[in-house]
Amino acid sequence: MAIIDGLGRKLNYLRVSVTDRCNLRCRYCMPFGGVAPIEHKEILSFEEILRVVSIMADLGVNKVRLTGGEPLVRKGIATLAKRIKEIRGIEILGLTTNGVLLGDMAKELSDSGVDAINISIDTTDEMRYKNLTLFDMYNEVRRGLLAALENSFNSVKVNCVLSPFSIPDDWIHVAAFAKDNAIDVRFIEWMPMAGEEMIEQNIIYRMDTVKGVLGKEFGEMTPCSNEENVAACAKMFSVHGFIGRLGFIPAMSSPFCKSCNRLRLTSTGDLRLCLFYDKGLALKSLLRGGASDEYIAKQILKTVEGKPAGHIGHRVNFGENSDTEAISSICGMSQVGG
Ligand code: SAM
Ligand code: SF4
């Protein structure tokens, strides 16, 4: 069984946002005052999430990633992870976190069957971290990263977003995590969404600029072969003297839409076909309205036919002299689940 969209793409990867809440306020992700929290009753329960994953696993999804908001602020997340991993057909379970709570939770998550952990770290400078996230938590995050490395995850990755707030020193220092550790550090082109504080800024860093800076600092970057490029969305490079690798997710300059294998489940139970596409399937009313698994499965298969070929959203132009045009969604990253 496989979930195939209208363009023949096989969709085997479900990203599940377990909460809209977060213990940070990254300025490129959320508006300054945060977003109004969604009422608890509107958020899918664990049983509802498990039911959706199980239906989708029967249809052919074999990879799930838990995200948010911040997934580690949701009580019982390790139990959810364990139960997802027990679902027949789910082979790989990942989790994306800001790392603040990871120091105390890494072992539990690893014991619960989480295979792959991605930690978001945009700067190694304590003051800059506080300025960017509005919380003085850099040392907690460092502790979280170390705890992740001490546990037996199959992969530990660091994500660094190239937001308008970012500077070359950040890229160099974050990249250095991959020098002495078996970590893939990936630089993600910032995707303007709705409502972030930085949307007015006209500095948009692209992969080529950042790769140039890192190449100058660390020496030649050799592209990894396709087999090594495990994550199809990332372009990975090895660097002489590095244990880990460096990579780029050129989400804006060279989106990977043609080979996209993703679906998203928002914390309020919408199945989304793309980060930048607001149409999807409102699963919550089906789950709570007595629909059978078979009916829900049919609706999912029908909905995915409409997965767009590429990003659809508001176009944002960054100034008269800028050749940079970005696409913005009407819903923020922390809401749809990054
Ligand atoms: N709170 C968790 C975290 O920060 O890792 C998980 C949710 S967060 C929305 C998932 C990922 O999306 C993080 O790596 C974050 O840096 C990234 N992100 C957030 N807003 C973004 C944006 N506008 N463009 C690109 N990446 C973004
Ligand atoms: Fe929270 Fe993650 Fe968004 Fe930062 S990027 S505000 S940690 S959801």
Task: Please write the tens of the pLDDT for every residue from 251-306.
Answer: 888 878 888 999 999 999 999 998 877 778 999 999 999 999 999 999 999 999 99
**Dihedral sign (CA 290, 295, 300, 305):** negative
Contact 184, 229 (CB under 8 A): no
Give residue 233's pLDDT: 82
**Are the C-beta atoms of residues 126 and 102 closer than 8 Å to each other?**
no
**Which residue's alpha carbon is nearest to atom 8 within ligand 1?**
338
Least confident of 31-45, 145-159, 198-212: 198-212
Kindly report, residue by residue over 74-122, the tens digit of the pLDDT: 999 999 999 999 999 999 999 999 999 999 999 999 999 999 999 999 9
Mapped onto helix, strand or coil, the DSSP state of residue 259 is helix
Ligand 2 pocket residue status of 18, Cβ below 6 Å: no
Q: Could you tell me if the CB of 29 is within 6 A of ligand 2?
A: yes
Q: Which two tokens stand for residue 133?
A: 């996230």
Ligand nearest to the CA of 266: 1
pLDDT band at 1 (very low <50, low <70, confident <90, very high): confident
200 falls in which pLDDT band (50, 70, 90)?
A: low
Asked whether residue 140 carries a pLDDT value surpassing 70, the answer given is yes
Q: Domain 13-336 maps to which CATH number in 3.30.70.1880, 3.40.50.300, 3.40.50.410, 3.20.20.70?
A: 3.20.20.70
Ordered alpha helix ranges (H), the chain: 46-59, 77-85, 102-111, 126-133, 138-150, 168-175, 177-180, 207-218, 283-288, 293-304, 333-336
- List, in sequence order, every beta strand (DSSP E) within 224-334: 235-239, 245-249, 262-265, 270-274, 277-282, 314-317, 325-328
| Any atom of ligand 2 within 6 Å of the Cβ of 114 | no
pLDDT at 267: 96
CA 36 to each of CA 22, 33, 157, 310, 334: distance values in angstroms, whole numbers, following the listed order: 11, 9, 30, 29, 11
Q: Looking at this protein, which amino acid is placed at residue 193?
A: M
Over residues 175-191, mean pLDDT: 95
**Ligand 2 centroid, distance to 216 Cα (angstroms):** 30
pLDDT at 157 over 90: yes
Question: Quick one: which ligand is closest to 27's CA?
Answer: 2
Q: Cβ neighbours of residue 278 under 8 Å, at least 6 residues apart?
A: 272, 329, 330, 331
Compute the distance from residue 337 Cα to the ligand 2 centre, in Å: 9
Ligand 2 binding pocket includes 100 (Cβ within 6 Å): no
53 with 75: CB under 8 angstroms? no
For 96, phi then psi, to 5°, come to -110, 125
| Ligand 1 centroid to residue 150 C-alpha, Å | 24
To the nearest whole number, what is the mean pLDDT of the chain? 89
pLDDT at position 320 is 47
* Protein residue closest via CA to atom 8 of ligand 2: 69
